Amino acid sequence: MTRRSAATTGGSAPTAPGGTADLVLLGGAVLTMDETGSRADAVAVADGRILAVGARAEIEPLIGEGTRVIELDGRALLPGINDSHLHATWLGARWPHTFFGAPDPEAAAQVSGVLAADREARRTAILTAGRMLSEVGITSYTEPGIGPGEDDGETGCFHSEVLDVYRELAAAGELRQRVTMLALYGVLDGPSDVETVLSGIRERAAAAPEPDPAWLNMPGVKIFGDLIPLSRQAWTERPYDDGTHGDLLVNGDSIEQKAERLAEMIRSAHAAGLQIGLHATGDRTIGLALDAIADAAAQPGAPSAQQLGHVIIHGDLATAEQVRRMAELGVWLNAQPGIASITGAWLTAMMGPDAAAEAWQFGAALDAEVLVLSSDAPVLHHDWRHWIAAAEERIVAMGGDASPDAARARLHRLLRAYTAVPAAQDRAASWKGTVEVGKVADLVVLASDPFEVGAAGLPEVPVDLTVLDGRVIFER
Ligand SMILES: [Zn+2]
């Protein structure tokens, strides 16, 4: 058993009064999601932190009069799920009308106009999403793109005021997830004006940190590189069916000028010490971004790309070579496996079978240790269990080893891509993302061990319980 002070990292005694835990969960498969895939039987929690992880007999002495004891009865316990690219305000406002897989696709297609017009509506949307996400074990997410770029936006879900509402909820202790947010100075899914984005980057770099970054943190900016292949607007080496190569989402007279302006935004954000979440799907856009990041990191006195943890968001057409380069630079690939399963045939029609066969390099990204998984809800449903299954399906379809041993090892890494790795994307791996002593007690209990059913069976495994900061916030 490992046991250490909850409040400090160097102490040797628990800080709970009398050495007892507030909450103990025991008699199950504790999947710590550390790198080696270590397991235990029981966990003790005190003051919102993990007090001890070990065998049942080692944890039982920490049970006192005030301890809530939960018998796991063989169920699995994992770190809370971190959906590292999820538009919670938009999800809450649109629900249940996701873009793909909605219960009533016709009704979903008709949703338009302002969905969250004012402070109250924005608050309701965030709280609605927060409850839904708790029900599937999500305890952290990244809200990628809130800010002045969308103050006149159609839906109202990305308006600057959304940040004010998050601040209020964080201060009142009402958030049901830990939130990382990226600031948006350009418009959503439209061309950015370079001067507007550059002045936004300066403004963000000068902004004071959030008062409690463990609950609400704003480490950087969202920048739009290009759009998506399905609208022929990803900037690509391969031509589309109409002979074009797509475009960049930057105002400019020529593709060369747009490329230089995008590179300038990336270099400026890096020089300012901001994390960049770059919406990029085409291989040419991704190549440009990696060059710009490498240039920025090579400047004297500049932080490394690793320190800032930039994120290529979507990266649908990233090549295997680009994925390896991301690993060298320390750049994350934040991907949505559901998009691969839902739009694969569509991509074949737009770009041909070779492009579709080489898209969505989840296996290469997993091997390179840069893969972070997310839902992009409300584009897709927020249920991560489906997207782990979809990632496995895609990797095997691309020639990944389908033997039981390889599948088990891969399931461990896919689960990490929804827990430990997004914590690293959040630059918070030292205090969340695994079940280890001293880390925050954000936990999820599944009705059975995912390794018994495999990735394909995971969507059928119910989520039984969600613990946030040591408090049970959802019970099935
Ligand atoms: Zn998105």
Residues 223 and 158 in one domain: yes
State in Å: Cα 403 to ligand 1 middle: 34
Q: What is the pLDDT of residue 17?
A: 44
Q: Is the pTM of the predicted complex or chain greater than 0.85?
A: yes
Is there a domain that residue 5 lies in? yes
Find the helix or strand (DSSP H, E) in which 130 lies: helix 119-134
Is there a domain that residue 445 lies in? yes
Is there a domain that residue 352 lies in? yes
Number of domains in the chain: 2
Q: Which domain holds residue 161?
A: 81-418
Residues 232 and 269 in one domain: yes
Residues 445 and 320 in one domain: no
State in Å: Cα 52 to ligand 1 middle: 37
Q: Give yes or no for residue 14 having a pLDDT over 50.
A: no
How many Cα atoms are found within 13 Å in the side-chain-facing hemisphere of 37?
Answer: 10
State in Å: Cα 5 to ligand 1 middle: 39
State in Å: Cα 437 to ligand 1 middle: 33
Cα–Cα distance, 107 to 96 (Å, whole number): 10
Cα–Cα distance, 332 to 426 (Å, whole number): 11
In the chain, pLDDT over 90 holds for what percent of residues?
95
Is there a domain that residue 104 lies in? yes
How would residue 347 be classed by pLDDT, with cut points 50, 70 and 90?
very high
Q: What is the pLDDT of residue 1?
A: 53
User: Which residues contact residue 223 at a Cβ distance below 8 angstroms, ignoring those fewer than 6 apart?
Assistant: 186, 192, 197, 262, 265, 266, 269, 276, 277, 278, 279
Amino acid at 1: M
Adjacent-strand bridge partners of 138:
81
Cα–Cα distance, 50 to 52 (Å, whole number): 6
Cα–Cα distance, 307 to 44 (Å, whole number): 32
Domain boundary, last residue among 394, 418, 442: 418
Is there a domain that residue 429 lies in? no
Q: Give yes or no for residue 8 having a pLDDT over 90.
A: no
Q: Judging by DSSP bridges, how do beta strands 216-224 and 178-184 pair with one another?
A: parallel
Q: Which of 283, 270, 279 is nearest to 190 (CA)?
A: 279
Classify burial at 283, counting beta carbons within 10 Å of its beta carbon; exposed 0-12, middle 13-18, buried 19 or more. buried
Q: Give yes or no for residue 6 having a pLDDT over 90.
A: no
- b/e burial code for range 173-183 (CB count within 10 A of at least 16 → b): eebbbbbbbbb
Q: Give yes or no for residue 192 having a pLDDT over 90.
A: yes
User: Which residues contact residue 152 at a Cβ distance below 8 angstroms, ignoring those fewer than 6 apart?
Assistant: none
Residues 132 and 179 in one domain: yes
Q: Coil, helix or strand for 94?
A: helix
Task: Encode pLDDT of 405-442 as tens digits.
Answer: 999 999 999 999 999 999 999 999 999 999 999 999 99
Q: What is the pLDDT of residue 4?
A: 40
Residues 131 and 248 in one domain: yes
Cα–Cα distance, 445 to 470 (Å, whole number): 13
State in Å: Cα 8 to ligand 1 middle: 37
State in Å: Cα 119 to ligand 1 middle: 22
How would residue 189 be classed by pLDDT, with cut points 50, 70 and 90?
confident
What is the average pLDDT across 135-150?
96
User: Of residues 19 and 341, which shows the higher confidence score?
Assistant: 341
Q: Which of 220, 218, 247, 253 is nearest to 232 (CA)?
A: 247
State in Å: Cα 413 to ligand 1 middle: 23
State in Å: Cα 142 to ligand 1 middle: 10
The whole-chain average pLDDT of the chain stands at: 95
Q: What is the pLDDT of residue 367?
A: 96
CB 116 within 8 A of CB 122: yes
State in Å: Cα 87 to ligand 1 middle: 6
Q: Give yes or no for residue 20 having a pLDDT over 60.
A: yes
Q: Give yes or no for residue 385 having a pLDDT over 70.
A: yes
424: left (phi over 0), alpha (psi -120 to 50) or beta: alpha
Residues 243 and 383 in one domain: yes
What is the average pLDDT across 211-233?
96
Residues 23 and 40 in one domain: yes
Residues 369 and 442 in one domain: no
Residues 272 and 406 in one domain: yes
Cα–Cα distance, 374 to 313 (Å, whole number): 10
Cα–Cα distance, 145 to 150 (Å, whole number): 9
Cα–Cα distance, 368 to 324 (Å, whole number): 6
Q: Give yes or no for residue 12 having a pLDDT over 80.
A: no
State in Å: Cα 475 to ligand 1 middle: 29
Is there a domain that residue 393 lies in? yes
Is there a domain that residue 426 lies in? no
Q: Which of 311, 306, 158 is nearest to 223 (CA)?
A: 311
Q: What is the pLDDT of residue 5?
A: 36
Residues 196 and 227 in one domain: yes
Task: Encode pLDDT of 228-278 as tens digits.
Answer: 999 999 999 999 999 999 999 999 999 999 999 999 999 999 999 999 999
Cα–Cα distance, 352 to 243 (Å, whole number): 12
Q: Give yes or no for residue 445 having a pLDDT over 70.
A: yes
Domain CATH number, residue 459: 2.30.40.10
Domain boundary, last residue among 418, 442, 468: 418
Residues 266 and 399 in one domain: yes
Domain CATH number, residue 87: 3.20.20.140
Lowest mean pLDDT, pick from 120-124, 187-191, 309-313, 446-450: 187-191
Q: Which two tokens stand for residue 73?
A: 């009865």
Is there a domain that residue 427 lies in? no
State in Å: Cα 238 to ligand 1 middle: 24
Residues 71 and 149 in one domain: no
**Kindly report the CA angle at 472 between 466 and 474, in degrees rounded to 5?**
50
